[in-house]
Amino acid sequence: MKRAPLTLYLAAPRGFCAGVDRAIKIVELALQKWGAPVYVRHEIVHNKFVVDDLRAKGAVFVEELEDCPDDRPVIFSAHGVPKSVPAAAEARAMIAVDATCPLVTKVHNEAARHSADGLQMVMIGHEGHPETVGTMGQLPEGEVLLVETEADVAGLRVRDAGKLAFITQTTLSVDDTAGIVAALQARFPAIVGPHKEDICYATTNRQAAVKAIAPKIDALLVIGAPNSSNSKRLVEVGRAAGCAYAQLVQRAVDIDWRALEGIRAVGITAGASAPEVLVNEVIDAFAARYETVVELVETAQENVEFKVPKVLREV
């Protein structure tokens, strides 16, 4: 039977960012240096495929530092940790390696600097997300007020409207965040902030690529995990840009082929924690069912690279 034609628009940039690349490398190098098991507090990045692969190599994933023995190395995930976590590791004389992305650390430092200047912090982020928990945990409890939506801004009760600064999670929707920042600035004209927000280059670029393919496609598939914030934002950005069918899939097996019946053009992207093998798996699954043509839609080139911590550089 003749297969239907289908164009796959492949977003670029997509997939691993420099912070994810570095974090995975840190776990691999730690395993080489110290042997298994190496403990990792929280999923090193939010992707089951990545986690399973590292687990098979000897990494043990736990949610809390208390679940790690004193005598094995522990790695903190790319999302960052509250200050209390490295402090507790130090108190137990553990070997701890911080895989927090340097761009998240930059936000931690911003918060600390503003607080030292006597400003109260407002964080734009998602409650309970490990990055938000880690960033808010740079300052004493209650020092950082969290807002998730524009509506939350109206309900903020601040110490002194003239002494405020804001920071953001790095993986937010650029457009939604702009709205929240505008609401903050409207209510607190003196609020201090970063130039625009703290959303990182990788998040910004992946969202821009989705916006560029949205007008060309009938459906968008975002390869990423259900707990991956930046991947979920890509789905939302796709929908907001006019793509009515935008879905998160972890791998090819998750594709709902029935929902795609009759389509002619599909957009494919991947969250910052999704490995390229899974993108290829999805492309192959389409190629097995359709007469596919792949077109790359490149809206930016990335050449960011982060060094691993000193302790692992000689490995």
Among 193, 229, 297, 312, binds ligand 10G (CB under 6 A): 229
Backbone angles phi, psi at 144, to 5 degrees: -110, 120
Least gap, CB of 273 to ligand SF4 (angstroms)? 8
Cβ burial, residue 14 (10 Å; 0-12/13-18/19+): buried
Sign of CA dihedral 13, 15, 20, 24: negative
Among 68, 193, 273, 282, binds ligand 10G (CB under 6 A): 273
**Count of residues in the chain:** 315
Q: List residues near ligand SF4 by CB under 6 A.
A: 17-20, 78, 101, 103-104, 170-171, 200, 202-203, 230, 272
Our answer to whether residue 131 is catalytic in this structure is yes
Least gap, CB of 119 to ligand SF4 (angstroms)? 23
Q: Taking a C-beta distance cutoff of 8 angstroms, is the pair 206, 182 a contact?
A: no
Task: Establish if 205 lies at the interface with ligand 10G (CB under 6 A).
Answer: no
Residues numbered 30-59 forming contacts with ligand 10G, rule: CB under 6 A: 45-46
Q: Measured between alpha carbons, how far is 54 from 223 in angstroms, rounded to an integer?
A: 19
Q: Measured between alpha carbons, how far is 288 from 269 in angstroms, rounded to an integer?
A: 19
Closest CA to 206 of 228, 181, 183: 228
Least gap, CB of 149 to ligand 10G (angstroms)? 18
- CA dist 176 → 25, 102, 114, 152, 207 (Å): 32, 24, 24, 13, 12
Least gap, CB of 185 to ligand SF4 (angstroms)? 24
Q: Which residue is nearest to ligand SF4 (CB)?
A: 19
18 binds, among ligand SF4, ligand 10G, none (CB under 5 to 8 A by kind): ligand SF4
Which residue's CB is nearer to ligand SF4, number 234 or number 243?
Answer: 234
Task: Establish if 177 lies at the interface with ligand 10G (CB under 6 A).
Answer: no
Task: Establish if 135 lies at the interface with ligand 10G (CB under 6 A).
Answer: no
Q: Taking a C-beta distance cutoff of 8 angstroms, is the pair 175, 240 a contact?
A: yes
125 binds, among ligand 10G, ligand SF4, none (CB under 5 to 8 A by kind): none
Tell me the site size for ligand 10G, rule CB under 6 A: 18
Of residues 131, 141, 143, 261, which has the active-site annotation? 131
Least gap, CB of 15 to ligand 10G (angstroms)? 10
Task: Establish if 18 lies at the interface with ligand 10G (CB under 6 A).
Answer: no
Task: Establish if 297 lies at the interface with ligand 10G (CB under 6 A).
Answer: no
- CA dist 78 → 13, 196, 263 (Å): 20, 23, 37
Residues of this chain that bind ligand 10G (CB under 6 A): 19-20, 45-46, 78-79, 101, 104, 131, 170-171, 228-231, 271-273
Q: Name the residues annotated as catalytic.
A: 131
